[in-house]
């Protein structure tokens, strides 16, 4: 009886230690705490080019994350990319005329969606769409534009 | 009887039938609970120290190697992301399963093999006690329960090892270390994927151990062969299943 009691106590300690480690890892060493709360709403925005924006990229206002990119789809008629954004319900007073742009954190960093609040007194809600958007800047396009413009300039001078 | 089926296929089939036999003998109750708890102590709690020591040093060496490599790109800050992702997804479950096979799988196989060699299994059958239910099932279930918990301890100690090396020795910023971990390591894909893997590995290793114990020839040499086979086969199976599960999960 005595030995059995010891065994049971030891395996109890082991089970609790293991569960404790699971709990600690999941809350401290993963994005568990940073995930969106259950209360959130979806808005969408249309871009002509999303570059390498990916689902789960952050949505930021003034550099602070307020939501995540949920999905990226293509409109089969207009061939625009439709980006669905999920925004935490704590931020439920974002003006209706807010603009969205696809930005890059750092020079080689990941893409994210930056929101620039407008001045309207009506607020965004579930299913609303942002109308003022700015597409991602693609480096190749910038370089080719620069080259062609430079070529045109020289042609006029001659 | 002359067979045309290759021996490994036949072995796998017998092992699968044995698993079904074990699950068929499952009757939840107080007896089973006590037996599983006792086996959890023997296979799980007794493996804890070796798992913790190995985890700590794996974390340290991971941090050391990846800081060396990342510093060439000026990205030593990313070390916690690399350590966390590789631990949760691969190294934690696989190394724990391999250590578990060496520490607990062998003892299960040897114990059951010896019970067979000394006719204890036959005696049970004579007394109408089902040895599969009384001997095999508690050990199998204890393995399935223990391995995910041991993996969690391994990962926790490895993260601690990485903290000690990266923050304590190299002098990286603690805030950056934890922030990278908390924003880059995903709860769903990385963490739960690893837990899922370790559950399967636990079942795999303990099934192989119990099966080789039960199918051991009842001699001294037979017990030795069973122990060796347990380590070899379960290590190979863990690595094979690791690839299969990773390609299905991602």
Q: Would you say residue A25 lies in a domain?
A: yes
Asked if residue A40 and residue A87 are part of one domain, the reply reads yes
Start-to-end CA span in chain A (Å): 104
Asked if residue A61 and residue A135 are part of one domain, the reply reads yes
Classify residue B71 by its DSSP letter: H
Asked if residue A51 and residue A19 are part of one domain, the reply reads no
Q: Give DSSP secondary structure letters for B163-175.
A: HIIIIIII---HH
Q: Is the ipTM of this complex over 0.95?
A: no
Q: Would you say residue A86 lies in a domain?
A: yes
Q: Would you say residue A55 lies in a domain?
A: yes
For residue B184, the model assigns a pLDDT of 81
Residue A9 contacts B, CB cutoff 8 Å: no
A12: distance to nearest CA of chain B, Å?
8
Asked if residue A80 and residue A105 are part of one domain, the reply reads yes
CA distances from A127 to A116, A155, B3, B134, B171 (A): 18, 50, 66, 59, 47
Asked if residue A42 and residue A16 are part of one domain, the reply reads no
Asked if residue A40 and residue A25 are part of one domain, the reply reads no
Over residues A28-73, the pLDDT tens digits come to: 777 776 666 678 888 999 998 888 888 878 888 988 888 888 889 9
Of A11, A32, A34, the CB nearest to B37: A11
Asked if residue A57 and residue A128 are part of one domain, the reply reads yes
Asked if residue A111 and residue A49 are part of one domain, the reply reads yes
A24: distance to nearest CA of chain B, Å?
8
Residue A27 contacts B, CB cutoff 8 Å: no
Of B38, B41, B181, the CB nearest to A29: B181
A153: distance to nearest CA of chain B, Å?
39
Asked if residue A48 and residue A25 are part of one domain, the reply reads no
B-chain CB neighbours of A17 within 8 Å are 48, 149, 153
Over residues A125-134, the pLDDT tens digits come to: 888 888 888 8
Domain limits at A79?
36-139
Residues with Cβ within 8 Å of B48's Cβ and at least 6 positions away in sequence, in order, are A14, A17, B150, B153
Residue A13 contacts B, CB cutoff 8 Å: yes
Of A10, A24, A56, the CB nearest to B41: A10
Number of domain units in chain A: 2
Residue A30 contacts B, CB cutoff 8 Å: yes
Asked if residue A124 and residue A65 are part of one domain, the reply reads yes
B142: distance to nearest CA of chain A, Å?
11
pLDDT tens, N- to C-terminus, chain B (250 residues) = 566 778 888 888 888 888 888 888 888 888 888 888 888 888 888 888 999 999 999 999 999 999 988 888 878 888 888 999 999 999 999 999 999 999 999 999 999 999 998 989 889 989 988 888 888 999 999 999 999 999 999 999 999 999 999 988 888 888 888 888 888 888 888 888 899 999 999 999 999 999 999 988 888 899 999 999 999 999 999 999 999 998 887 6
Q: Would you say residue A26 lies in a domain?
A: yes
């Amino acid at each position: 009886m005595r030995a059995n009691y010891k065994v049971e106590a030891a395996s109890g300690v082991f089970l609790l230690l293991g569960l404790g480690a699971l709990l600690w890892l999941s809350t401290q060493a993963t994005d568990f705490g940073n995930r969106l709360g259950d209360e959130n709403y979806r808005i969408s925005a249309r871009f002509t080019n999303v570059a390498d924006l990916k689902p789960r990229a952050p949505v930021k206002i003034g550099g602070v994350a307020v939501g995540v990119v949920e999905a990226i789809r293509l409109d089969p008629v207009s061939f625009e990319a439709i980006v669905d954004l999920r925004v935490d319900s704590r931020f439920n007073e974002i003006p209706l005329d807010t603009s969205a742009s696809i930005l890059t954190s750092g020079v080689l960093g990941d893409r994210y969606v930056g929101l620039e609040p407008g001045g309207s007194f009506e607020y965004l809600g579930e299913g609303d769409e942002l109308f003022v958007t700015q597409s991602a800047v693609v480096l190749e396009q910038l370089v080719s534009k620069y080259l062609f413009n430079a070529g045109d300039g020289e042609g006029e001078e001659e | 009887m002359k067979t045309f089926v290759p021996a490994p296929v036949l072995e796998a089939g017998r092992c699968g039938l044995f698993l079904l036999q074990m699950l068929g003998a499952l009757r939840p109750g107080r007896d089973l609970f006590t037996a599983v708890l006792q086996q959890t102590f023997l296979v799980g709690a007794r493996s804890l120290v070796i798992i913790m020591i190995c985890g700590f040093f794996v974390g340290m060496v991971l941090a050391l190697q990846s800081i060396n490599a990342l510093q060439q790109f000026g990205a030593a800050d990313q070390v916690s992301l690399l350590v966390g992702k590789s631990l949760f997804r691969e190294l934690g479950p696989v190394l724990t399963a391999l250590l578990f096979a060496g520490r607990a799988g062998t003892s299960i196989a040897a114990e059951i093999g010896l019970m067979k060699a000394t006719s204890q299994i036959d005696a049970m059958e004579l007394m109408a006690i089902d040895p599969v239910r009384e001997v095999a099932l508690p050990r199998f279930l204890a393995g399935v329960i223990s391995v995910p918990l041991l993996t969690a301890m391994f990962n926790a100690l490895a993260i601690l090892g990485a903290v000690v090396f990266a923050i304590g020795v190299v002098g990286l910023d603690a805030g950056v270390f934890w922030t990278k971990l908390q924003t880059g390591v995903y709860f769903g894909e990385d963490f739960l994927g690893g837990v899922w893997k370790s559950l399967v590995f636990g079942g795999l290793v303990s099934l192989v151990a119990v099966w080789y114990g039960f199918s051991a020839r009842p001699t001294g040499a037979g017990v030795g062969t069973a122990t060796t086979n347990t380590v070899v086969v379960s290590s190979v199976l863990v690595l094979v299943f690791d690839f299969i599960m990773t390609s299905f999960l991602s």
